Amino acid sequence: MKIYSHEKQKLHKPKSYFSRGQMRQPQEMPERLTELLKAPETMGLKVTTAKEIGIEPILAVHDFDYVEFLKHGYEEWMALDEEMGEEIQTTIYVPNNNSGLGILAKAAMYQADGSAPIGKHSWTSIYWSAQTALNAADSLLDDEAEQNDIQICLTRPAGHHARKNAAGGFCYLNNAAIIAEHLRQKFKKIAIIDTDMHHGQGIQEIFYDRKDVLYTSVHGSPINFYPVVAGHEHEKGHGEGYGYNINFPMPHGTDEVGFFNYVDKSISNVKLFNPDVIIHVLGFDVYKDDPQAKCNVSTQGFKTLAQKLKALNKPMIVLVEGGYCIEKLDENLQAFLSGLISE
């Protein structure tokens, strides 16, 4: 087992978060990573600093112009003649029929909602979050990789809501999609299993018409809950991808037993697919006291979750994504890691 992270992921510090009719306190803060990093330290597990792999695997998934916006949009925003806020944050959302001329039009095109502002150092963190994930993928591409090797990536900002060409839901680059695509160099069949509180509609969209990447997700019902527009059971894929997108929306208020019933169904589908490698999108926002939680997973539950995934006995990359009960991230990650280590 190897754990990857990078300190530069702490530079992104959102100041604004507009959602459901009001400005709210940003939840996806650098302190989250500080807390996550305490877990391996307490357990005596080494954290490897990610090395740079580059922009190419990112551009294999995301549109070039969108990536340019993430990289350089901030300078363009600050260069406007009028007084702008300290980060790119739009109130105009027009993804189509938009010329993209001018930074305000670009923001309208590339920001899908009010929860993904872009500040001075955002790109650095976004880039290193993707690089951290890519380090795990690269080590599985290595011929020396063991059959049931498990790699953990402590990443922020998260990725599963990011579309090919839009940021949203605290996400900018879709790390799971980027590494799935990168892993295709060697592996034919990849399963992405998402247990974050929210449906990863970005991953779903990117692989919707493909059968080489299975996406299965357990999440809170999207009815009046983020991402609100996707995550229903009837979304099963398109064309040859039909049947390779499997959603398990949980009724809000589902208890821990209920959560694991859905996880077991999701895992059964992964077994049936028989992938060469598994990517697990792990969200600690299913934790019972998380401000985003619509279900009731206990700290012990994360150990159980890890044991169930380990039992699949496949090479696996775990991307730590959501989780906003900051004071419990350390303990909950320790529980998860202990499930991977235990026999």
Catalytic residues: 161
Q: Which is nearer to Zn ion, 114 or 322 (CB)?
A: 322
User: Is residue 12 part of the contact set for Zn ion (CB under 5 A)?
Assistant: no
Q: Which letter does DSSP use for residue 51 in this model? A: P
| Among positions 149, 181, 194, 196, the unique one binding Zn ion when judged by CB under 5 A | 196
- Give one DSSP letter per residue of 219-285, joined into a string: EE--TTSTT-SS--TT---SGGGTTSEEEEEEPTTB-HHHHHHHHHHHHHHHHHH--SEEEEEE-GG
Choose one: 25-33, 46-54, 172-180, 280-288; the region binding Zn ion (CB under 5 A).
280-288
CB of 146 to Zn ion, least distance (A): 30
Q: Which is nearer to Zn ion, 196 or 330 (CB)?
A: 196
Q: Which of 285, 290, 330, 331 binds Zn ion (CB under 5 A)?
A: 285
Cβ-based burial of 224 (10 A; exposed 0-12, middle 13-18, buried ≥19): exposed
Helix (H), strand (E) at residue 318:
strand 316-320
Question: Does residue 283 interact with Zn ion by CB under 5 A?
Answer: yes
Pairing of strands 18-19, 22-23: antiparallel
Residue 303 DSSP SS3:
helix
Q: Is residue 159 at the binding interface for Zn ion, with CB under 5 A as the rule?
A: no
Does residue 198 belong to the site contacting Zn ion (CB under 5 A)?
Answer: yes
The residue (of 149 and 196) whose beta carbon lies closer to Zn ion is 196
Question: Residue 143 contacts by C-beta under 8 Å, 6 or more apart in sequence?
Answer: none
Q: How far is the CB of 247 from Zn ion (least distance, A)?
A: 15
Measured over the CA atoms of residue 322, residue 324, residue 327 and residue 328, the dihedral's sign is: negative
Tokens of 244: 């390779």
Closest approach, Cβ 15 to Zn ion, in A, equals 20
The footprint of Zn ion on residues 300-339 (CB under 5 A) is: 322
- Position with the least CB separation from Zn ion: 322
Among 67, 109, 171, 197, binds Zn ion (CB under 5 A): 197
Q: For residues 245 and 202, is the Cβ–Cβ distance under 8 A?
A: no
Q: Which residue type, as a one-letter code, is found at position 260? A: F
Question: What count of other Cβ atoms lies within 10 Å of the Cβ of residue 226?
Answer: 22
Residue number with CB closer to Zn ion (159 or 322):
322
Q: Per-residue x/- mask for Zn ion, residues 98 to 117, rule CB under 5 A?
A: --------------------
Binding segment (CB under 5 A) for Zn ion, from list 22-30, 176-184, 194-202, 311-319? 194-202
CB closer to Zn ion out of 198 and 310: 198
How many residues belong to the site for Zn ion (CB under 5 A)?
6
Using CB under 5 A, list all residues that contact Zn ion: 196-198, 283, 285, 322
